[in-house]
Chain A
Amino acid sequence: MTRIEGHPIVRKERGTPFTFTFDGKAISAYPGETIASALFAEGVRVFGHHPKDASPQGLFCANGQCSQCMVLADGFAVKACMTPAAPGQRVEPLDGLPRLPRIDRAPEPREPERKDVSVLILGGGPAGLSAAIELGSRGLDVLVVDDKDRLGGKLVLQTHRFFGSIDAVHAGTRGIDIAARLEGRVRELPSVDVWLDSTAVAVFSDGLVGILKGAVYALVKPRVLLVATGAREKSLVFKGNTLPGVYGAGAFQTLVNRDLVRAAERLFIVGGGNVGLIAGYHALQAGIHVVGLVEALPECGGYKVHRDKLARMGVPIYTSHTVLSANGTDGVESVTVAAVDKGFRPVPGTERSFACDTVLIAVGLDSVDEFHKAAAEFGLPVYAAGDAEEIAEASAAIFAGKIKGLEIARALEATADEVPAAWSRMSEILKSKPGPIVERSALDRYLEGDAGSVYPVLHCSQEIPCNPCTSVCPQRLIEIDETDLRRLPQFRGADARKACVGCERCVAICPGLAITLVDERGRGDPVVTVPFEFPSDRLTAEDRVVVLDDVGTPLGEVSVLEVKALAKNDRTALVKVRAPRDIAARIAGIRVQEPWTSQPLPEAVEPLGDDAIVCRCERVTAGEIRARIREGYRDMNEIKIVTRAGMGACGGKTCSALIQRLFREEGVALTDVTQNVRRPLFVEVPLGVLAGASSEAAGSRASAPARGKGAK
């Protein structure tokens, strides 16, 4: 594992490296880099051992939420994923319980910082920022609180072009650039204040919201609270599921796309929704082998264009398959998967294992809704937007935030504007699930009559909300039903008075990389332009490449004529290949990953580890929980008392949903189950910080170390 150089999309000035030590070994890091990322870049994935069973511990959420990545930094236990590395720092693995460094001098307690504000927005992601823009542009005083050192939420990890509507939600633009645009708008608004490195820890019944602001505890009293805290990833119960190297797509994208750390050599993906499919694409872009992807359903749940894109790169997608185990001792060495029957039960005899060092779990998202629930229970004026309200695409979150912003502005009488009906409709469209897949034959029909000319091929066969291709054609030859941007784009082709000029702009902008251009005007075989988002030095003229159809079936080997970049193409390279006429229009991509990469091991690997873990913090196995359920336990609070599941640092963020799933698997309806009580705090806060003690007084970290304020 190492750092990623020459990423095709992300540019990063790393600054001057420095060194710190981990377990006595020198580790190099760059300014602003977290301890976790620096360790990963050096191939260190075991950060310590659990006090209960000495199991290896490491990065899991990479998001400051779970405390799995604790290390000792200069004697203080800290979360490696949130703590920046510092020159000369002495970092030690955390084996068992940490010792609390002794302090003799009592700090002078101070009252928490207090702030009154019209609207407090928790979360500076797509929904929160969009709401802040609506509110701030109407002069309302707004405070946006975000736990990261920059705004944008998960947009800052999304290096791909977005779907959706160009006008409404910046479709065709990369997530990282949308984040910058939204942040730019927010920063222009004088009434909007932003606290970075600040984590909301609790909504209290007296209407105050506790916020860990760097190393200061603040209490904010809003007139209205908007919860835009996004989502957390669902987990999965299987053997070896807590081995270092098993983690969520969010953690992976943080390492790869934010920190440019090549977090894996060989990656296996569990889950065929958009999150897993996109993460696979990001991995390939980072030079990581994607060994395969399993999806339990007969079809991937994500957009077909994302699925196809991955398949075209040479990644095998195993539908109706599940993961049985991650295998290894101090980290993942292989994964074992199997086919499932209609009841999602593994089919004996179908087990296959693949060598890999990382298993990425992308099996869906749950709303981070505890602040909204608490505020609603306390009768406080509260709204939710984006994934915190309903899981959908980031484009939908952008629009949902805008609508909620306007609704709150109305509620606070800062405007009389009503939410336009068109907004509500757009919001519904952006949230809609992908439609059915259109038959190829219907798609092919429009190509008739284009022979001998130049024309785009739209390898887009599933209705999703997306329209960038319609906006860039200088001849206006690509159209989507104006009343519904989910309809498939149509190339008007030969029946139109104007003709395609072969400008390739549609090829460059399509977020699904699903448009190619076939030029049959010249002599000899047609020339096909294919979009390509990999390091430009990877292909040069005269290279021989394998071209594939839209779903990844190899069509043959062809020669590259040219690799070029359009002036305004924003990092999507265009590759021209010459291909025989019979395959030219079917070419949809160029294989970047060789088939040998994804070969299974000769024999299926039996897992070494014991049972699958449900509660990572307290190391409680699925077997222990199942036994309680079979004994008749129906109160999750009682299961917690007896097993400790949910008592750990994360506060049941991961295990609650897993325990519910076990109930269902045991044939118990959730209506018969008493849910466990969710209590504050959302993340742990040092007593010294709550006491208002200055960090100098405590003579220590006391505690969340302020990262260099990334105010931009």
Chain B
Amino acid sequence: MPRSAYDVIVLGAGSVGVPAAWAMAESGLSVLVLDPFASPGQGSNKAAIGGIRATHSDPAKIRLGLRSLQIARTWKDTYGDDIEWTTGGYSFVAYSPREERILKDLLLIQKRYGLDIEWYDRDGLLEIVRPLRPDGLIGGTFSPGDGHCSPLLLGHALYERAKGAGVEFHFGEAAASIEIQGGRVEGVTTSKGRYQTRVVVNAAGPWAADVGRLAGLEHPVRPDSHEGGITEPVAPFFGPMVVDIAPAPGSANYYFFQLATGQVVFCITPSPNLWGFDRRETSAFLPMVAGRMVRLMPTLANLRVRRTWRGLYPMTSDGSPIVGWAREVDGYLMAIGLCGQGFMLGPGLGELLARAVQGETTPEDDEILELLSPYRIFQGQETLR
């Protein structure tokens, strides 16, 4: 018999909800995950391209990134599943003094947190990313410990672990209301039933604001629709995730890497932002991103694009996630506004959320929670989004 009372109900079986549910179940809690899609990761997790890095510029994200990186990197050894992890590193390239300055400034912060990242001049970088266009290249950073894996496989592996730990998943079932009595969460109702709980975790990604309204709260999260693509597979020809932060009409930056299986995956950050839930393909994306990629790495000219898609980045105004308990409603925990980094931060964040629910946060957790507090003053923009 399916139970109707749970310690925790997680709303969203995506990049954040699945690892959080798993970590909570591992800590002994009974967990139900509700998701309107038909299977896990069908919202934005499957739209992620798979990069995982610690080389952020925000200390909270650096810490969550380091832990997520460790989980992904050791996944196969620990659990046996091949998630196609590759420690290929990240390389941010500079072809103009603007990018050189930004990257070198960031390097100071990143070094301060002990990250393994260095600046390389033109010839040094060309040894690391051989097919880059040498012409005009100033140099760039390289962080060898970062990497990438298949978001589909890691997402699914996390899901299988969560199920194995006793998490219940209900797909095709969205929360219709969050029951609140006397200022605290009492349960969740869906079209299929009512479930008692004292803790609800909002892990609804781009739909986080809609879920918040069920609790009578307004969350400053709105989706920005990014477009990505994948090519045919070819023999390996470069290792790192290559990021070009030079702005150009239509895109603030773009990045690409070669999967362990040989395909090149690429994505842009649209500029101006494409706000909203529209995930339909646009005609502008491919010519724009192809022009940029082929100029940066001419060898790509003969590589065929296989598929494109769009994914929703749940953005906050300052580019950092919103994580923490609601002050207005007891038992309502937010893990929202991951700004497109749910996949790379989710595994580490999931563990932190479990400790938060158990009331066992570490001092480092508390520091992260303070930085990502829903009640912080939202200002500025993180440089490396």
Q: Which residues of A contact B (CB under 8 A)?
A: 51, 67, 76-77, 96-107, 109, 111-112, 202, 204-206, 208, 210, 217, 219, 377-378, 633-635, 637-638, 641-642, 649, 651, 674, 679-681, 684-688, 690-693, 698, 700-703
Contact = CB atoms under 8 A, between A and B. Distances in A.
A109 B291 contact: yes
Nearest to A111: B287
Nearest to A101: B302
A653 to B, nearest CB: 13
Contact of B283 (A98, A219, A642): A219
A686 B282 contact: no
A102 B305 contact: no
B153 to A, nearest CB: 7
B135 interface: yes
Contacts of A692: 287, 291
A219 B233 CA distance: 26
B299 A100 contact: yes
Contact of B46 (A77, A106, A641, A649): A641
| Shortest Cβ-Cβ A-B pairs, 10 listed | A688-B301, A109-B291, A205-B280, A684-B304, A690-B290, A635-B39, A638-B39, A674-B38, A204-B283, A208-B283
A635 B38 contact: yes
Interface stretch (B57-65, B306-314, B336-344, B348-356): B306-314
Interface string B147-162: 0000011011000000
Given A107-B294, A687-B305, A51 B46 contact: no
A374 to B, nearest CB: 8
B237 A690 contact: no
A533 B131 CA distance: 59
Contacts of B302: 76, 100-101, 103, 686-688, 698, 700-703
Contacts of A111: 287
Contact of B233 (A51, A217, A635, A637): A51
B232 interface: yes
Given A104-B133, A378-B280, A641-B41, A684 B306 contact: yes
A638 B163 CA distance: 15
Nearest to A100: B234
Interface of B: 37-42, 46, 131, 133-135, 152-153, 155-156, 171, 231-235, 237, 262, 278, 280-284, 286-287, 290-296, 298-309
Nearest to A675: B38
Contact of B231 (A103, A377, A634, A687): A687
Contacts of B305: 681, 684-687, 690
A97 B234 contact: yes
Contact of A651 (B171, B280, B291, B306): B306
B307 A679 contact: yes
Contacts of B156: 638, 641-642
Nearest to A52: B261
A77 B38 CA distance: 38
A663 to B, nearest CB: 13
A107 B38 contact: no
Nearest to B45: A641
A242 to B, nearest CB: 18
Contact of A685 (B135, B153, B233, B304): B304
Contacts of B237: 99-100, 102
A698 B38 contact: no
B282 A206 contact: yes
A487 B38 CA distance: 50
Nearest to A638: B39
Per DSSP, chain B at the interface is mixed
A204 to B, nearest CB: 4
Contacts of B309: 679
B64 to A, nearest CB: 24
Contacts of A634: 38-39
A373 B24 CA distance: 42
A285 B237 CA distance: 49
A56 B42 CA distance: 35
Most A Cβ at <10 Å: residue of B152, B155, B294? B294
Nearest to B229: A681
A120 to B, nearest CB: 13
A106 B237 CA distance: 17
Nearest to B263: A647
A104 B294 CA distance: 10
Contacts of A51: 233, 262
20 contacts: A76-B302, A97-B235, A100-B237, A103-B299, A106-B135, A107-B301, A112-B287, A202-B281, A206-B283, A642-B156, A674-B38, A679-B281, A680-B308, A681-B305, A681-B308, A687-B305, A691-B295, A693-B294, A698-B301, A702-B301
A684 B232 contact: yes
B306 to A, nearest CB: 5
B234 A637 contact: no
Nearest to A702: B301
Contacts of B290: 109, 687-688, 690-691
A673 B171 CA distance: 13
B235 A100 contact: yes
A210 B39 contact: no
Contact of A686 (B46, B233, B301): B301
Contacts of B41: 641
B144 to A, nearest CB: 23
A204 B283 CA distance: 6
A687 B293 contact: yes
In this complex, the member of B40, B134, B293, B301 whose beta carbon has the largest number of chain A beta carbons within 10 angstroms is B301
Contact of A104 (B233, B298, B306): B298
Contacts of A693: 294, 301
B125 to A, nearest CB: 15
Contacts of A700: 301-302
Nearest to B130: A102
B150 to A, nearest CB: 9
Contact of B307 (A204, A633, A651, A702): A651
A103 B307 contact: no
Given A107-B294, A109-B291, A205-B281, A687 B308 contact: no
Contact of A109 (B232, B294, B306): B294
Contacts of A641: 41, 46, 152-153, 155-156
A669 B212 CA distance: 36
Nearest to B296: A106
Contacts of A107: 294-295, 298, 301
A98 B295 contact: no
Given A100-B237, A204-B281, A686-B305, A691 B232 contact: no
B46 A637 contact: yes
A604 to B, nearest CB: 39
Given A97-B235, A649-B306, A688-B301, 5 more contacts: A104-B134, A633-B39, A635-B42, A690-B286, A701-B302
A132 B317 CA distance: 52
Given A104-B134, A378-B280, A684-B306, A690 B38 contact: no
A605 to B, nearest CB: 35
A269 B286 CA distance: 42
A378 B300 CA distance: 31
A661 to B, nearest CB: 19
Contact of B301 (A67, A103, A635): A103
A641 B296 CA distance: 31
Contacts of A702: 301-302
A203 to B, nearest CB: 8
A109 B291 CA distance: 5
A308 to B, nearest CB: 45
A109 B309 CA distance: 22
Contacts of B278: 205
A630 to B, nearest CB: 16
A103 B130 CA distance: 11
A316 to B, nearest CB: 43
B42 A205 contact: no
A259 B280 CA distance: 40
A637 B298 contact: no
A97 B39 CA distance: 32
Looking at A651, A686, A700, which has the most chain B CB atoms within 10 Å of its CB? A686
